[in-house]
Amino acid sequence: MKRLTAYLARLFVTDALILFGVVCFLLWLVNCLRSFDVVSVKGQSIWVLGVQALYTMPPLAIAFFYVCVGIGLARALQALQANRELHIIHTSYGLGSLWRATAVVAGAGVVGVLLLSNFVEPYAYRKLNALSASIAADLVSSTLRPGRFTQVTPGVVLLIGGRGPNGEIREFFADDRRDKEMRRTYIAESARVASDGQTYVLELRNGSLQYNSDKGRFSEITFGRYDVNVDQLSQPIGQSNPLLERDTPSLVGEAMATGRWSPALVTLLANRMAEGLRVIGMAMMMLALMGFPSGRRARIPVPMEAGVLLIAFGERGLSAYSPLGTATGALAMIVIAGIALLVRTRPRALPVAVAP
Protein backbone atom coordinates (compact mmCIF):
# COMPACT_ATOMS: atom_id res chain seq x y z
CA MET A 1 0.00 0.00 0.00
CA LYS A 2 1.38 3.38 -1.00
CA ARG A 3 2.04 6.02 1.61
CA LEU A 4 -0.63 8.30 0.18
CA THR A 5 -3.20 5.48 0.18
CA ALA A 6 -2.32 4.56 3.76
CA TYR A 7 -2.50 8.21 4.83
CA LEU A 8 -5.93 8.76 3.28
CA ALA A 9 -7.31 5.45 4.56
CA ARG A 10 -6.11 6.22 8.08
CA LEU A 11 -7.69 9.66 7.86
CA PHE A 12 -11.04 8.28 6.68
CA VAL A 13 -11.14 5.44 9.21
CA THR A 14 -10.18 7.66 12.15
CA ASP A 15 -13.01 10.13 11.58
CA ALA A 16 -15.55 7.35 11.01
CA LEU A 17 -14.51 5.37 14.10
CA ILE A 18 -14.56 8.41 16.38
CA LEU A 19 -18.04 9.36 15.20
CA PHE A 20 -19.28 5.77 15.48
CA GLY A 21 -17.98 5.49 19.04
CA VAL A 22 -19.65 8.74 20.07
CA VAL A 23 -22.96 7.70 18.46
CA CYS A 24 -22.89 4.29 20.15
CA PHE A 25 -22.22 5.84 23.55
CA LEU A 26 -25.07 8.34 23.15
CA LEU A 27 -27.45 5.61 21.97
CA TRP A 28 -26.49 3.48 24.97
CA LEU A 29 -27.25 6.36 27.31
CA VAL A 30 -30.61 6.90 25.60
CA ASN A 31 -31.46 3.20 25.98
CA CYS A 32 -30.53 3.37 29.66
CA LEU A 33 -32.84 6.35 30.18
CA ARG A 34 -35.67 4.64 28.29
CA SER A 35 -35.38 1.46 30.38
CA PHE A 36 -34.63 3.09 33.72
CA ASP A 37 -38.21 3.32 34.96
CA VAL A 38 -39.15 -0.18 33.83
CA VAL A 39 -36.06 -1.87 35.26
CA SER A 40 -36.16 0.08 38.53
CA VAL A 41 -39.81 -0.83 39.07
CA LYS A 42 -38.86 -4.50 38.63
CA GLY A 43 -36.32 -4.17 41.43
CA GLN A 44 -33.19 -4.65 39.30
CA SER A 45 -29.79 -3.04 39.80
CA ILE A 46 -28.08 -0.37 37.75
CA TRP A 47 -25.73 -3.06 36.43
CA VAL A 48 -28.67 -5.00 34.95
CA LEU A 49 -29.94 -1.75 33.44
CA GLY A 50 -26.61 -1.10 31.69
CA VAL A 51 -26.29 -4.67 30.39
CA GLN A 52 -29.84 -4.71 29.08
CA ALA A 53 -29.29 -1.40 27.29
CA LEU A 54 -26.06 -2.80 25.83
CA TYR A 55 -27.87 -5.82 24.36
CA THR A 56 -30.32 -3.52 22.59
CA MET A 57 -27.48 -1.64 20.87
CA PRO A 58 -26.60 -3.82 17.81
CA PRO A 59 -29.73 -3.02 15.72
CA LEU A 60 -29.26 0.71 16.36
CA ALA A 61 -25.51 0.52 15.70
CA ILE A 62 -26.14 -1.25 12.39
CA ALA A 63 -28.69 1.37 11.35
CA PHE A 64 -26.18 4.20 11.97
CA PHE A 65 -23.04 2.40 10.79
CA TYR A 66 -23.08 3.45 7.15
CA VAL A 67 -24.14 6.96 8.17
CA CYS A 68 -21.02 7.24 10.32
CA VAL A 69 -18.89 5.95 7.45
CA GLY A 70 -20.40 8.56 5.15
CA ILE A 71 -19.94 11.42 7.60
CA GLY A 72 -16.36 10.31 8.32
CA LEU A 73 -15.51 10.34 4.62
CA ALA A 74 -17.26 13.67 4.09
CA ARG A 75 -15.46 15.38 6.96
CA ALA A 76 -12.07 14.01 5.91
CA LEU A 77 -12.54 14.98 2.26
CA GLN A 78 -13.80 18.41 3.29
CA ALA A 79 -10.69 18.92 5.41
CA LEU A 80 -8.48 17.83 2.51
CA GLN A 81 -10.15 20.35 0.23
CA ALA A 82 -9.91 23.13 2.81
CA ASN A 83 -6.14 22.79 3.15
CA ARG A 84 -5.64 22.25 -0.62
CA GLU A 85 -4.39 18.67 -0.22
CA LEU A 86 -7.21 17.40 -2.42
CA HIS A 87 -6.10 19.71 -5.22
CA ILE A 88 -2.53 18.41 -4.93
CA ILE A 89 -3.77 14.80 -5.05
CA HIS A 90 -5.59 15.43 -8.32
CA THR A 91 -2.86 17.47 -9.98
CA SER A 92 -0.08 15.02 -8.99
CA TYR A 93 -1.88 11.94 -10.36
CA GLY A 94 -2.91 10.71 -6.92
CA LEU A 95 -6.48 9.94 -7.89
CA GLY A 96 -5.73 6.20 -7.83
CA SER A 97 -4.63 6.43 -4.20
CA LEU A 98 -7.84 8.27 -3.35
CA TRP A 99 -9.89 5.50 -4.96
CA ARG A 100 -7.91 2.77 -3.24
CA ALA A 101 -8.20 4.45 0.17
CA THR A 102 -11.96 4.73 -0.26
CA ALA A 103 -12.11 1.08 -1.30
CA VAL A 104 -10.14 0.08 1.81
CA VAL A 105 -12.53 2.02 4.05
CA ALA A 106 -15.58 0.59 2.28
CA GLY A 107 -14.19 -2.94 2.49
CA ALA A 108 -13.41 -2.61 6.19
CA GLY A 109 -16.86 -1.13 6.75
CA VAL A 110 -18.53 -4.01 4.91
CA VAL A 111 -16.68 -6.56 7.02
CA GLY A 112 -17.54 -4.70 10.21
CA VAL A 113 -21.24 -4.24 9.49
CA LEU A 114 -21.65 -7.84 8.29
CA LEU A 115 -20.06 -9.08 11.50
CA LEU A 116 -22.54 -6.95 13.43
CA SER A 117 -25.61 -8.02 11.46
CA ASN A 118 -24.78 -11.73 11.03
CA PHE A 119 -23.15 -12.59 14.36
CA VAL A 120 -23.27 -9.84 16.99
CA GLU A 121 -26.95 -8.95 16.55
CA PRO A 122 -28.24 -12.57 16.86
CA TYR A 123 -26.04 -13.09 19.92
CA ALA A 124 -27.40 -9.89 21.47
CA TYR A 125 -30.97 -11.02 20.77
CA ARG A 126 -30.33 -14.32 22.54
CA LYS A 127 -28.73 -12.68 25.54
CA LEU A 128 -31.43 -9.99 25.73
CA ASN A 129 -34.26 -12.55 25.67
CA ALA A 130 -32.49 -14.65 28.30
CA LEU A 131 -31.92 -11.59 30.48
CA SER A 132 -35.54 -10.46 30.09
CA ALA A 133 -36.76 -13.92 31.03
CA SER A 134 -34.42 -13.95 34.03
CA ILE A 135 -35.71 -10.52 35.13
CA ALA A 136 -39.31 -11.68 34.75
CA ALA A 137 -38.60 -14.89 36.65
CA ASP A 138 -36.91 -12.94 39.44
CA LEU A 139 -39.86 -10.57 39.50
CA VAL A 140 -42.33 -13.45 39.78
CA SER A 141 -40.33 -15.48 42.27
CA SER A 142 -38.98 -12.86 44.66
CA THR A 143 -39.92 -9.27 43.80
CA LEU A 144 -43.73 -9.50 43.71
CA ARG A 145 -45.42 -8.21 46.82
CA PRO A 146 -48.55 -9.99 48.09
CA GLY A 147 -51.69 -8.01 47.37
CA ARG A 148 -49.91 -5.59 45.05
CA PHE A 149 -50.45 -5.33 41.28
CA THR A 150 -47.17 -5.33 39.34
CA GLN A 151 -46.63 -4.76 35.62
CA VAL A 152 -44.10 -7.21 34.18
CA THR A 153 -44.21 -5.70 30.69
CA PRO A 154 -46.65 -3.20 29.14
CA GLY A 155 -49.99 -5.00 29.01
CA VAL A 156 -49.22 -7.77 31.53
CA VAL A 157 -50.19 -7.32 35.20
CA LEU A 158 -49.50 -9.87 37.97
CA LEU A 159 -50.94 -10.28 41.46
CA ILE A 160 -50.18 -12.85 44.15
CA GLY A 161 -51.93 -13.58 47.41
CA GLY A 162 -48.94 -14.79 49.42
CA ARG A 163 -45.78 -16.87 49.56
CA GLY A 164 -44.92 -20.21 51.06
CA PRO A 165 -41.72 -21.06 52.93
CA ASN A 166 -40.29 -22.95 49.94
CA GLY A 167 -40.92 -20.11 47.46
CA GLU A 168 -44.33 -21.37 46.39
CA ILE A 169 -46.79 -18.66 45.35
CA ARG A 170 -50.36 -18.77 46.61
CA GLU A 171 -53.34 -17.31 44.71
CA PHE A 172 -51.69 -16.39 41.45
CA PHE A 173 -53.37 -13.98 39.01
CA ALA A 174 -52.10 -12.66 35.66
CA ASP A 175 -53.91 -10.45 33.17
CA ASP A 176 -52.51 -10.26 29.61
CA ARG A 177 -53.92 -7.44 27.45
CA ARG A 178 -51.13 -7.17 24.86
CA ASP A 179 -53.25 -8.71 22.11
CA LYS A 180 -56.05 -6.29 21.23
CA GLU A 181 -58.17 -9.10 19.77
CA MET A 182 -57.81 -11.55 22.66
CA ARG A 183 -57.43 -10.92 26.39
CA ARG A 184 -56.04 -13.77 28.52
CA THR A 185 -56.40 -14.18 32.26
CA TYR A 186 -54.51 -16.80 34.29
CA ILE A 187 -55.91 -17.77 37.72
CA ALA A 188 -54.36 -20.48 39.89
CA GLU A 189 -54.41 -21.58 43.52
CA SER A 190 -50.63 -21.93 43.55
CA ALA A 191 -47.65 -21.36 41.29
CA ARG A 192 -43.92 -22.00 41.21
CA VAL A 193 -41.06 -20.79 39.01
CA ALA A 194 -38.89 -23.60 37.62
CA SER A 195 -35.90 -23.63 35.28
CA ASP A 196 -34.21 -26.25 33.10
CA GLY A 197 -30.99 -24.23 32.86
CA GLN A 198 -31.98 -22.43 29.66
CA THR A 199 -35.58 -21.26 30.02
CA TYR A 200 -37.86 -20.36 32.92
CA VAL A 201 -41.29 -21.94 33.30
CA LEU A 202 -44.16 -20.84 35.52
CA GLU A 203 -45.96 -23.91 36.85
CA LEU A 204 -49.60 -23.13 37.61
CA ARG A 205 -51.71 -25.60 39.62
CA ASN A 206 -55.47 -25.94 40.11
CA GLY A 207 -56.68 -22.96 38.16
CA SER A 208 -58.26 -21.71 34.95
CA LEU A 209 -57.32 -19.91 31.77
CA GLN A 210 -59.91 -17.42 30.54
CA TYR A 211 -60.15 -15.97 27.03
CA ASN A 212 -62.14 -12.84 26.23
CA SER A 213 -62.21 -11.66 22.59
CA ASP A 214 -62.87 -8.15 21.37
CA LYS A 215 -66.22 -9.38 20.00
CA GLY A 216 -67.45 -10.30 23.47
CA ARG A 217 -66.85 -14.05 23.26
CA PHE A 218 -65.76 -15.66 26.53
CA SER A 219 -64.25 -19.11 27.11
CA GLU A 220 -62.63 -20.77 30.10
CA ILE A 221 -60.33 -23.77 30.46
CA THR A 222 -59.71 -25.37 33.86
CA PHE A 223 -56.56 -27.32 34.59
CA GLY A 224 -54.78 -29.25 37.31
CA ARG A 225 -51.39 -28.10 36.06
CA TYR A 226 -50.48 -25.61 33.35
CA ASP A 227 -46.94 -24.58 32.40
CA VAL A 228 -46.38 -21.09 31.01
CA ASN A 229 -43.05 -20.04 29.55
CA VAL A 230 -41.94 -16.88 31.30
CA ASP A 231 -41.03 -15.41 27.89
CA GLN A 232 -44.73 -15.42 27.01
CA LEU A 233 -45.43 -13.03 29.86
CA SER A 234 -42.22 -10.98 29.82
CA GLN A 235 -41.81 -10.14 26.12
CA PRO A 236 -43.89 -7.59 24.17
CA ILE A 237 -46.27 -9.50 21.95
CA GLY A 238 -45.36 -9.86 18.29
CA GLN A 239 -41.63 -9.15 18.79
CA SER A 240 -40.37 -12.66 19.48
CA ASN A 241 -38.83 -14.18 16.35
CA PRO A 242 -36.64 -17.28 16.78
CA LEU A 243 -34.84 -16.56 13.50
CA LEU A 244 -33.43 -13.33 14.92
CA GLU A 245 -31.60 -15.27 17.62
CA ARG A 246 -29.62 -17.42 15.18
CA ASP A 247 -26.55 -16.39 13.23
CA THR A 248 -26.41 -16.59 9.47
CA PRO A 249 -24.12 -19.67 9.09
CA SER A 250 -26.44 -21.81 11.23
CA LEU A 251 -29.53 -20.63 9.35
CA VAL A 252 -27.94 -21.25 5.94
CA GLY A 253 -26.58 -24.63 7.03
CA GLU A 254 -29.98 -25.79 8.25
CA ALA A 255 -31.71 -24.52 5.11
CA MET A 256 -29.23 -26.31 2.87
CA ALA A 257 -29.60 -29.53 4.85
CA THR A 258 -33.41 -29.49 4.80
CA GLY A 259 -33.90 -27.74 1.47
CA ARG A 260 -36.42 -25.35 3.03
CA TRP A 261 -35.87 -21.69 2.25
CA SER A 262 -38.85 -19.97 3.82
CA PRO A 263 -39.77 -16.42 2.72
CA ALA A 264 -39.06 -15.16 6.25
CA LEU A 265 -35.56 -16.69 6.14
CA VAL A 266 -34.78 -15.26 2.70
CA THR A 267 -36.00 -11.82 3.78
CA LEU A 268 -33.90 -11.94 6.95
CA LEU A 269 -30.74 -12.94 5.07
CA ALA A 270 -31.36 -10.25 2.45
CA ASN A 271 -31.79 -7.63 5.18
CA ARG A 272 -28.52 -8.64 6.81
CA MET A 273 -26.53 -8.63 3.56
CA ALA A 274 -28.04 -5.32 2.42
CA GLU A 275 -26.14 -3.56 5.20
CA GLY A 276 -22.88 -4.20 3.35
CA LEU A 277 -24.30 -2.69 0.16
CA ARG A 278 -25.34 0.41 2.09
CA VAL A 279 -21.75 0.96 3.22
CA ILE A 280 -20.46 0.59 -0.35
CA GLY A 281 -23.13 2.91 -1.73
CA MET A 282 -22.52 5.59 0.89
CA ALA A 283 -18.74 5.49 0.37
CA MET A 284 -19.19 5.87 -3.39
CA MET A 285 -21.65 8.72 -2.91
CA MET A 286 -19.24 10.66 -0.70
CA LEU A 287 -16.38 10.08 -3.12
CA ALA A 288 -18.51 11.33 -6.02
CA LEU A 289 -19.71 14.41 -4.11
CA MET A 290 -16.63 15.41 -2.11
CA GLY A 291 -13.69 13.72 -3.81
CA PHE A 292 -13.19 16.34 -6.49
CA PRO A 293 -11.93 19.86 -5.71
CA SER A 294 -14.04 22.82 -6.66
CA GLY A 295 -13.41 26.54 -6.51
CA ARG A 296 -17.06 27.43 -6.36
CA ARG A 297 -18.47 28.95 -3.20
CA ALA A 298 -21.98 28.10 -2.22
CA ARG A 299 -24.25 31.03 -1.46
CA ILE A 300 -25.83 29.14 1.42
CA PRO A 301 -23.26 26.78 2.97
CA VAL A 302 -24.86 23.47 3.93
CA PRO A 303 -23.00 21.12 6.30
CA MET A 304 -22.18 17.88 4.51
CA GLU A 305 -23.25 15.95 7.61
CA ALA A 306 -26.80 17.07 6.91
CA GLY A 307 -26.39 15.91 3.31
CA VAL A 308 -25.34 12.45 4.49
CA LEU A 309 -28.38 12.23 6.75
CA LEU A 310 -30.67 13.27 3.87
CA ILE A 311 -29.14 10.64 1.61
CA ALA A 312 -29.55 7.98 4.31
CA PHE A 313 -33.14 9.06 4.92
CA GLY A 314 -33.93 8.82 1.21
CA GLU A 315 -32.24 5.41 0.96
CA ARG A 316 -34.22 4.04 3.90
CA GLY A 317 -37.47 5.38 2.51
CA LEU A 318 -36.82 3.90 -0.93
CA SER A 319 -35.86 0.53 0.55
CA ALA A 320 -38.88 0.44 2.84
CA TYR A 321 -41.47 1.17 0.14
CA SER A 322 -39.85 -0.54 -2.82
CA PRO A 323 -41.38 -3.88 -3.92
CA LEU A 324 -37.93 -5.01 -5.08
CA GLY A 325 -36.58 -5.53 -1.55
CA THR A 326 -34.57 -3.83 1.17
CA ALA A 327 -31.44 -3.51 -0.99
CA THR A 328 -33.15 -1.20 -3.50
CA GLY A 329 -31.93 2.01 -1.87
CA ALA A 330 -28.36 0.74 -1.56
CA LEU A 331 -28.26 -0.37 -5.20
CA ALA A 332 -29.68 3.00 -6.25
CA MET A 333 -26.88 4.77 -4.38
CA ILE A 334 -24.27 2.55 -6.05
CA VAL A 335 -25.70 3.17 -9.54
CA ILE A 336 -26.06 6.94 -9.08
CA ALA A 337 -22.60 7.30 -7.53
CA GLY A 338 -21.06 5.10 -10.22
CA ILE A 339 -22.53 7.25 -13.00
CA ALA A 340 -21.39 10.43 -11.26
CA LEU A 341 -17.85 9.09 -10.86
CA LEU A 342 -17.68 8.09 -14.53
CA VAL A 343 -18.86 11.54 -15.58
CA ARG A 344 -16.45 13.40 -13.31
CA THR A 345 -13.42 11.27 -14.26
CA ARG A 346 -13.99 11.26 -18.03
CA PRO A 347 -11.13 12.79 -20.04
CA ARG A 348 -11.80 16.31 -21.19
CA ALA A 349 -10.31 18.04 -24.18
CA LEU A 350 -8.00 20.95 -23.42
CA PRO A 351 -9.18 24.36 -24.62
CA VAL A 352 -7.58 25.61 -27.79
CA ALA A 353 -4.97 28.28 -27.12
CA VAL A 354 -5.45 31.55 -28.97
CA ALA A 355 -2.32 33.32 -30.15
CA PRO A 356 -2.03 36.96 -29.11
SS3 289: helix
SS3 209: strand
The C-alpha atoms of residue 311 and residue 194 are separated, in whole angstroms, by 51
What pLDDT was estimated at residue 315? 94
Q: Counting Cβ atoms within 10 Å, is residue 307 exposed (0-12), middle (13-18) or buried (19+)?
A: middle
Q: Point out the residues of the chain with pLDDT beneath 70.
A: 1, 37-44, 139, 141-143, 196-198, 234-240, 295-302, 348-356
pLDDT tens for each residue of 283-323: 999 999 988 887 665 555 667 888 899 999 999 999 988 88
What pLDDT was estimated at residue 175? 92
What pLDDT was estimated at residue 71? 94
What pLDDT was estimated at residue 108? 95
Contact of 330 with 274, CB cutoff 8 Å: yes
What pLDDT was estimated at residue 237? 55
What pLDDT was estimated at residue 308? 93
User: Strand 150-153 vs strand 218-229: parallel, antiparallel, or unpaired?
Assistant: unpaired
What pLDDT was estimated at residue 178? 84
Work out the number of other CB atoms within 10 angstroms of the CB of residue 311.
Answer: 22
DSSP letters along 16-70, please? HHHHHHHHHHHHHHHHHHHHHHHHHHTT--HHHHHHHHHHTHHHHHHHHHHHHHH
pTM for the structure as a whole: 0.80
- Sheet containing strand 150-153, strands side by side: 150-153, 156-163, 169-176, 182-195, 200-213, 218-229
